[in-house]
Amino acid sequence: MSRAKVVEQHLFDKYLRVDRLPHIWCPGCGIGILLSCFIKAIDTLQLDLDKLVVVSGIGCAGRIAGYIKVDSFHTLHGRAIPFAVGLKLANPSLNVVVISGDGDIFSIGGNHFIHAARRNNDIMVICVNNFIYGMTGGQYGPTTPYQARTSTSPYGNVEHAFNLPHVAASCGAVYVARWTVLHTRRLTESIIEALQKKGFRFIEVLSPCPTVYGRRNNMPRGLDMMKFFMKNCEIRNFEDTKNIAIEPGEKIIIGKFVDIEKKAFEDAYYELIRSVRGY
């Protein structure tokens, strides 16, 4: 008697380019956890995948665009946001999400972030903050904590890091949150909330990088940094973002900080076009 062949399939396989797996991320990296949370969110909302677009820049987090089975674009370093803005302007019916790293979005791409938030472009930006340039050798960047050791600051970083939620809020974002990949349920819920809003939405996701950040800062395994998050993070929803900079020896404040309504740039733009043309 012949036995039917059993084909094992993961519940999320339909959202993944499984032919590109296994992924390139290092053991202990948290980016795969973020990808799972993002997929869970779009599955919960049952989003139309033909209308969902994921854009990334260059870097470890940028590989998400290559693994998720929707229209996705792996763009130039630092240029994910202007690319996403162009997509949304050309086709306002699209749900456009940028997922990339802290160096990509806030270093070389920092100016684009500021002005997209200021204009309130109707895009969602998820920034993976692993405190370092992970793919290029472990150099310090604009989110590297003060005193942290990196390949280019072997005796400790003397620059103060960006407070990413404060940058987003002060520039006009309508939704601002910070979570870690340890807080998977809250992160997933935050992504679900942000996907349903209009305007410029921003979520910072703190993620371990044991390979080039953790091993230089007494956290050589991904589990070490997860324990660090568990011990040192404190949820304070709607805390003033000027009070949540990540500083040595202080609690890392996570939560949802901004959730407001404001007309999106694309709505205002097309209203103007219709009024000028008289229809």
Compute the distance between CA of residue 256 and CA of residue 236 in angstroms, rounded to an integer. Answer: 8
Residue 135 lies in a domain: yes
CA dihedral angle for residue 46, residue 16, residue 209, residue 204, rounded to 10 degrees:
-20
Q: Which of 216, 190, 204 is nearest to 161 (CA)?
A: 204
Confidence of residue 271 (pLDDT cuts 50, 70, 90): very high
Domain that holds residue 259: 25-277
Q: Is residue 186 part of a domain?
A: yes
* Within a domain: 3: no
Distance CA 203, CA 190 (A): 8
Residue 18 lies in a domain: no
Asked, for residue 202, whether it belongs to a domain, the answer is yes
Q: Which of 42-51, 128-137, 166-175, 185-194 has the lowest mean pLDDT?
A: 128-137
pLDDT at 7 over 70: no
User: Percent of the chain scored above 70 by pLDDT?
Assistant: 97
| Inter-axis angle of helices 184-195 and 31-45, nearest 10 | 50
Instruction: List pLDDT tens digits, range 120-158.
Output: 999 999 999 999 998 888 899 999 999 999 999 999 999
**Rounded to whole angstroms, how far apart are CA atoms 224 and 228?**
6
Q: Shortest CA distance to 61 belongs to which of 199, 217, 222, 209?
A: 209
Domain count, the chain: 1
Does residue 9 fall inside a structural domain?
Answer: no
Q: Is there a domain that residue 16 lies in? A: no
* 141 in Cβ contact with 103 (< 8 Å): yes
4 occurs within a structural domain: no
Averaged pLDDT, 19-30: 91
**Residue 260 one-letter amino acid:** I
Place of tokens 């012949």: 2
| Distance (Å, whole) CA 77 – CA 12 | 29
Alpha helices in the chain (DSSP H): 31-45, 64-67, 80-90, 102-103, 110-119, 164-171, 184-195, 222-232, 265-277
Q: Report pLDDT digits (tens) over 188-240.
A: 999 999 999 999 999 999 999 999 999 999 999 999 999 999 999 999 999 99
Cis upstream peptide for 27 (omega within 30°): no
**213 and 132 Cβ atoms separated by less than 8 Å:** yes
The β-bridge partners of 100 are: 127
Q: What is the CATH number of the domain that holds 64?
A: 3.40.50.970
